Amino acid sequence: MNAMLLFLLGMEPQAPLMKLTPDMLKDNQNEYRSLFDDSPIPLWIEDFSEVKKYLDDLHREGIGDLKTYFENRPEVISYCANLVKVVDVNRATLDLYNAKSKKEFKDNLNRIFCRESYGVFKEELIALAEGKTVFESETINQTLTGEKINLSFKWFVATGYEKTLSKVFISIIDITKHKRTEEVLRESEQRKKAFFQAIPDLVFILTKEGDYVEFNAERDEDLAIPRNEIIGKNIRDAGFSQDYVNSILYYIQQAIQTKQVQIFEYQLKTPKGLGIWEARLVALNENEILAIVRDITKHKEIEKELHILNTEIVKSNIRLKQLSLQDSHTGLYNYRYLGEIIEAEFYRAKRNATPLSAIMLDIDYFKSINDVYGHQFGDLVLKQLSRQLKKIVRQYDIVIRFGGEEFVIISPGTDRATALVLAQRILDAINLYNFGDKQHTTKLKLSIAIASYPEDKITRGMDL
């Protein structure tokens, strides 16, 4: 599995499994370029060599506590940021930052980074100074049109560049929607807390027979009885419904008899409308109780809103999970799913002592098809090939579009010999099929590679 493939899956590259000829190397370089440019994940290649030299100079000067050093000299962080060279970015990066071209993107790097970005960059500098070759965190950037975006990113130093840091790969995931959802939830919680703090409680003292003795209320609109009529009135004569009167008298008796706080909710109409109230009754003595009453109408509304919001978030997360594992163009699983399923299938094969094979397919000269017939025609060919592959393989084989014109088939329970038969069946079937539409048709030539467990020396799923 090539280095760019491993990078897209978030893994550091291992030693190559085979020796490449110059022609193969050239083909691989073109393949890598296609993987880089066509990846749906925003990718960067950066040169940190000047930063490395600067950090080495600080080390030679005896500066060991870089965290304190950077905190006392924030201008140094900005200086180091200017030392970083952006070597290349892919199309997904341009789309993320609303850049029309790589030149526009590189010419406006100073607009991408904002105040929050430099705090995370400081941690990157410390990680580099400590010799780390992998770093991941979250940060905030700006698009070229000025919108703030929340990002989760990971970088690692390319193998062979550890001493110079002249090649560093960076992958980015836009988590802006997720962060904004979290902010909505926080704001909802803050509103709920503010309601509780802003609405004062009503306090009443009543006799066990239901006579009002004392009360305290800041707003008349919270009172179901006119303020000047409360003292001395019995709840039976206050115009309340019989059910409400019976409930109050019951909880008054329970508070006095059990010596425990009685809590209950009820609906009551006041000058501000019908609301939901919570009452807490505690016995003061054998004849009187203290009632603390709070309007919880807004609280109930917020609970309902939060329940609806949480339900929608759960549904959205499920939909996002499904979308994140599916190639929207062909309907096949995508490279993210490959990263999840390959380890699970390898573990199952190893545990059950059963074979496992991975078949990798690449459409030869696919760029020429796009150049001659257009990208819309090329997209149609990819969809047709996807359907053909799903028809050819077994029901429990897993067809994955890794990216571009590359596909992977995970075949559980299949040894190398059986995988070779399947690969030949695929080649034969595809050779017979005419791809295209009523106006144009084309034949496809596929390159296929196979890796099998246990025939190949494999210690983990990603080695396939």
What domains are defined for the chain?
Answer: 39-174 (3.30.450.20), 196-301 (3.30.450.20), 327-463 (3.30.70.270)
First to last CA, the chain: 7
Residues 238/204, Cβ–Cβ less than 8 Å: no
3-state secondary structure of 278: strand
Q: What is the pLDDT of residue 293?
A: 87
Task: Please give the pLDDT value at position 200.
Answer: 66
Structure tokens at 356: 């496992």
Edge-first strand listing for the sheet containing 446-453: 398-403, 406-412, 356-363, 446-453
Q: Are 155 and 170 in contact (CB under 8 A)?
A: yes
Please state, in angstroms and rounded to a whole number, the distance separating the CA atoms of residues 246 and 236: 9
Q: What's the CA gap between 19 and 200, in Å, rounded?
A: 78
Q: What is the pLDDT of residue 188?
A: 76
> Which residues does 176 contact at the CB level (< 8 Å), separation at least 6?
148, 149, 150, 151
For helices 115-129 and 49-60, give the axis angle rounded to 10 degrees: 60
Residue 198: the pLDDT is 53
pLDDT of 204 reads 85
CA pair distance 287, 360, nearest whole angstrom: 85
Q: What does the pLDDT read at residue 319?
A: 62
The single-letter DSSP state of residue 118 is H
* Residues in the chain, pLDDT under 50: 1-17, 20, 192, 195-197
**CA distances from residue 220 to 216, 226, 230 in whole angstroms, order as listed:** 10, 7, 12
Long-range interactions of 396-401: CB distance < 8 A, separation 24+:
397/422, 398/333, 398/341, 398/345, 399/332, 399/333, 400/332, 400/333, 400/334, 400/335, 400/337, 400/338, 400/341, 401/327, 401/329, 401/330, 401/332, 401/333, 401/334, 401/335
- Residue 20 is given by DSSP the state P
